[in-house]
Structures are given as C-alpha cells and as structure tokens.
C-alpha cells in the first residue's frame, strides 16, 4: 500500500478528502486570481485542503483554432502570482519534457495529461523534478496498467506521485467511469477522481455553432452524482474544473462546474465520506 505525502499544506493519501479545482485554462491573470481566491474561500469554509489548477497551455485541444492559453512564459508568471497571493499549492499540465524544469520552479504539482500518460521521457523527467506528480489515466489505458506509469516516476526518484481517473473511451464521443478502477489503482498510489472530464463528450460539439471549430461537449448535471459515487468508493481527492461563467469559458466550459454550485457539491461529498466511515 502506498504512503501518504505532503504537497504544501495538503496531505495526499492521508484519509482527509482534498480538492483540486480551478479553470481549465488560464484566461487572464485577474480571472485566475479571482477563481483561486473564491475556491480557496469555499474550501477553507468547508475545511477541505485545496490545490489550485489551471493550464498555461492546452496542447491537445480538438481544433487548431481553439484557445490554448497564455503560453509558458506568461502562464508560469501567473501561476507563481496565484501561489504567492492566495497561498495555496498550484498544479498545471506539462506536455513536453523540455518544459519540466522551468514549470517545476513555478508550481507544486506537475500534471501529466491523460493522452501522455505512457510517455516515458516525460514521466521520467517529471519524476526527477522534485515536484509531486499527478498522472491522469488515459482514456485508453486499463487501471492495472497505470502501475507502469507510477513505476516510471518512482524509478526516476519521484516518490510523491498520485493518479487521477477521468473515464474511459466508450465508443465514439463518450466516456464511462468504471468505479472498480478507483480501488484497483489505489493499491499502488493515492487516487483522485476527475468529476468534470468524466462527464465530457469528446469532440461532440461546435464552437458557437461553427462546425469548423470542433469542441468537446459535456453533461455537467452528472458531476455531483459521479463525485458522490467516487467518494463512497474511497478516493483520496476530487478534481473539478470550476468556472464562474461556464458558458463563456475559453476551454471545456461544457463540462465545467459552475462556481456557485461548488459549496453544495462539497457539502454532499463530505456527508458521503462521513456516512461511509
């Protein structure tokens, strides 16, 4: 069984539910700061340890015309600002091994995107970085095969590693979550459940009705339901992409949780955890 570890003030795998949340992509400095402050206040009121999440670059957007983010330089500046101003640990995606050393200086957790969860060079350099590493399970990977991704990070010296479930491909333009995967993966690392990407409908929509710009759709009404099920199954943390105006979000708004719904969802999750215990 895995050991627990610290990321700033957040204990990963210690039995207390923690939250990873924020907008999918950094839209601006002001928006990132506002979202971090708002979510931190909500999490603090519920006594849930919190890690801020936002991406400086979304390198796997469906369309080449989609907004990717501010890029490495500006994105890392903003993430540093969030960490210093809001005083919470910060997580971001990293897509290229060459970027890891610079990103590791600005954040507390390096996130390996689901599509890259088998990329050995990326996993190894992340393991050498000194940062905690969150590996998102690929939609195409069995839960038991994620052991190999964990081993790549640990063999490189990265002892602080955890896994995030975000659903498996089920035919075209759909995902399904097998709750057994949470227990299977938890045998070799702490496990987080991504409640927002799990309700995504990949490449199933069009941007503002423009069929030339494909985007993912979503079913956000199922976010609370799946999150409750995951907490009942014994996950260590919950990952939710949260936005104050999902309809206007520059990435993944269709499957984001509206900020105003977050307090109620967290209350439900804490109630479920208490009941299970």
Reported as a pLDDT band with limits 50, 70 and 90, residue 38 is very high
Across 96-105, average pLDDT: 97
Task: Find tokens 């005083």 and name the residue.
Answer: 87
Question: Using N-to-C axis directions, what is the helix angle for 262-276 and 223-232, rounded to 10°?
Answer: 20
Does residue 209 carry a pLDDT above 60?
A: no
Cα–Cα distance, 248 to 212 (Å, whole number):
19
Does residue 272 carry a pLDDT above 70?
A: yes
Does residue 140 carry a pLDDT above 70?
A: yes
For the domain spanning 5-276, the CATH number is 3.20.20.70
**Residue 160 CB partners (closer than 8 Å, separation 6+):** 5, 6, 7, 12, 131, 132, 133
């Amino acid at each position: 069984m895995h050991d627990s570890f610290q990321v700033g003030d957040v204990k990963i795998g210690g039995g207390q539910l923690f939250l990873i949340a924020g907008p999918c992509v950094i839209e601006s400095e002001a928006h990132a700061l506002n979202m971090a402050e708002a979510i931190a206040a909500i999490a603090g009121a519920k006594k849930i340890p919190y890690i801020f999440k936002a991406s400086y670059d979304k390198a796997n957007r469906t369309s080449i015309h989609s907004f990717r983010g501010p890029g490495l330089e500006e994105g890392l500046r903003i993430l540093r600002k969030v960490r210093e101003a809001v005083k919470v640990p910060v997580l971001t995606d990293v897509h290229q091994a060459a970027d890891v050393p610079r990103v590791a200086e600005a954040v507390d957790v390096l996130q390996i995107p689901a599509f890259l969860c088998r990329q050995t060079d990326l996993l190894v350099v992340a393991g050498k970085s000194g940062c905690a590493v969150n590996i998102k399970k690929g939609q195409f990977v069995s839960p038991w095969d994620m052991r190999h991704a964990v081993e790549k990070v640990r063999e490189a010296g990265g002892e602080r590693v955890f896994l995030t479930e975000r659903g498996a491909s089920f035919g075209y333009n759909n995902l399904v979550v097998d709750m057994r995967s949470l227990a299977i993966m938890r045998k070799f690392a702490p496990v987080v459940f991504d409640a927002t990407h799990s309700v995504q409908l990949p490449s199933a929509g069009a941007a503002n009705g423009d069929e030339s710009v494909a985007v993912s759709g979503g079913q956000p009404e199922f976010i609370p339901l799946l999150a409750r099920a995951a907490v009942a199954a014994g996950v260590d943390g919950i990952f939710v992409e949260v936005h104050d105006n999902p309809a206007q979000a520059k990435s993944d708004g269709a499957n984001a949780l509206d900020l105003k719904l977050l307090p109620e969802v967290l209350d439900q999750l804490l109630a479920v955890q208490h009941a299970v215990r």
